[in-house]
Amino acid sequence: MKYYSTNKNVPEVSLKEAVLRGLAADNGLYMPAQIARLPASFFATLAGKTLQEISCEVATALFDGDLPEADLQTIVCNAINFEIPLVKVTDNIYSLELFHGPTLAFKDVGARFLAQLMGYFTAGKNTQITVLVATSGDTGSAVANGFLGIPGIRVVVLYPKNRVSKIQESQFTTLGQNVVALEVAGTFDDCQQWVKQAFLDNDLQQALTLTSANSINLARLAAQVFYYFWAYTQMPQDADVVCSVPSGNFGNLTAGLIAQRMGLPIRHFIAANNRNDIFYQYIATQKFTPRASIATIANAMDVGNPSNFARIMDLYQNSHSDVAANISAYCYNDDEIGCVMQNVHRQTGYTLDPHGACGYEALRSYLQEHKNARGFFLETAHPAKFKDTVDNILHTDIVIPKKLQQFMRGTKQSIPMSADFETFKDYLLQTKGS
């Protein structure tokens, strides 16, 4: 399989090159040259298969011939070694709980797969790879923990000061070893721009071997394709199935669209936004207008210039009408998100985190207009990761899981950094051997 840049100004590369480079030299994002459509026989035998079995089969089709099948299956099984339950919330709404991994967030799936795959590609090499990752919350913890202790790999996490929850922050600033956290006096978009800029900087390219672990990296996004198939097999099959995705950088939604291209019969997707409603505005106006991100209680979705919009445009060949036909968009402010959390908790007993609340409400709104459909939304993080916010809204005292308590007992080791790329660049060059 070959992989091309969405900007289409550089030659196609192998999976290994795409994973280790992260971002193409022309500043584009890598996409597979072909997306295999799974045969009817695959879907006929889905019922009764485990999450790992389904993930291995989808991975084999998606990464056709890129590495030995047995090695790929080992990587998949080592990465996805936790449950992803589908929980009924109402008669027609289900929650895909993606928070049962090591850092209690959906990004454990992609980050652990990427870490395993990158470790496979670099095994035995005598060079250090620097993994750059910008985070608005959960990405940093998932990537840092996925790569923790892997020989030959240094992880540099960039995060916006005072814009992630304390629990999220503790998950990547207390690890040490091969993980460095940079506390940036700026926004997530600043952090993300630095990562992209680093890949285009000649000095850094000559001095370091850089790659990315954001959903910029195709391998991290691709692993998220697996759980859409798993969720579909758990849904009642007597109605059209739709899916609502809390959306920030749009890697998760892109993964769902790839699953659909592979033949998964999800009829429609819904992009749930907070006040960072760039995609919502695109659907409404046909114009993609990035802007500075706005801080909200659904902080992992606080993205003003979503990178994976480029991949969505590539999938639909820049056709707004085709995008709008398959993807609806909704957006909610903090007050609305809080009201959804309260209503769902009171009516069903189910506790949503702020991101899941966006996904739930967007799905509920869509289903009001499409009575024959049922759907699932992605509950992307455990509510305890936003304990102060959730407790304040629901007047509860959420028990913090033991996994999170262990992180919170650690000592913060982050490095303060001004919102200036040259300062970041100098840091990387001065510490390249560490």
Averaged pLDDT score across all residues of the chain: 92
Contacts of 79 (CB under 8 A, 6+ apart): 109, 112, 113, 115, 116, 223
Average pLDDT over residues 56-73: 94
Average pLDDT over residues 175-192: 89
Residue 202 backbone phi and psi in degrees, to 5: -65, -40
DSSP 381: B
> Of 404, 349, 284, which Cα lies nearest the Cα of 95?
349
pLDDT of residue 405: 86
For residue 41, with 0-12 CB atoms within 10 Å meaning exposed, 13-18 middle and 19 or more buried, which class applies?
Answer: exposed
How far, in Å, CA of 346 to CA of 339, rounded?
A: 10
Distance of alpha carbon 198 from the chain centroid: 21
Report the share of the chain in percent with pLDDT over 70. Answer: 99
How far, in Å, CA of 65 to CA of 81, rounded?
A: 24
Average pLDDT over residues 352-377: 96
pLDDT at 138 over 80: no
pTM over 0.85: yes
CB half-sphere exposure, 36, CA atoms < 13 A: 17
Q: Which residues pair with 408 in a beta bridge?
A: none
Which two tokens mark 288?
Answer: 């993609």
pLDDT of residue 200: 86
How far, in Å, CA of 141 to CA of 167, rounded?
A: 10
Which two tokens mark 55?
Answer: 């993930």
How far, in Å, CA of 376 to CA of 267, rounded?
A: 12
How far, in Å, CA of 289 to CA of 298, rounded?
A: 21
Of 211-220, 265-274, 321-330, 379-388, minimum mean pLDDT range = 211-220
Go through the chain and tell me how many residues it has: 434
How far, in Å, CA of 430 to CA of 203, rounded?
A: 12
| First-last CA distance in the chain | 35
pLDDT tier, 433 (very low <50, low <70, confident <90, very high otherwise): low
pLDDT of residue 123: 81
Distance of alpha carbon 146 from the chain centroid: 14
Contacts of 20 (CB under 8 A, 6+ apart): 118, 121, 122, 129, 209, 211
How far, in Å, CA of 227 to CA of 97, rounded?
A: 10
pLDDT of residue 345: 98
Contacts of 50 (CB under 8 A, 6+ apart): none
How far, in Å, CA of 51 to CA of 220, rounded?
A: 17
pLDDT of residue 283: 97
pLDDT of residue 140: 82
Average pLDDT over residues 385-400: 94
Residue carrying structure tokens 């936004």 = 273
Contacts of 218 (CB under 8 A, 6+ apart): 3, 18, 19, 29, 30, 31, 32
pLDDT of residue 174: 87
Whether the CB-CB separation of 114 and 223 falls below 8 Å is answered with: yes
For residue 286, with 0-12 CB atoms within 10 Å meaning exposed, 13-18 middle and 19 or more buried, which class applies?
Answer: exposed
How far, in Å, CA of 306 to CA of 136, rounded?
A: 12
pLDDT tier, 199 (very low <50, low <70, confident <90, very high otherwise): confident
pLDDT tier, 214 (very low <50, low <70, confident <90, very high otherwise): confident
pLDDT tier, 434 (very low <50, low <70, confident <90, very high otherwise): low
**What residue type is 186 in one-letter code?**
G
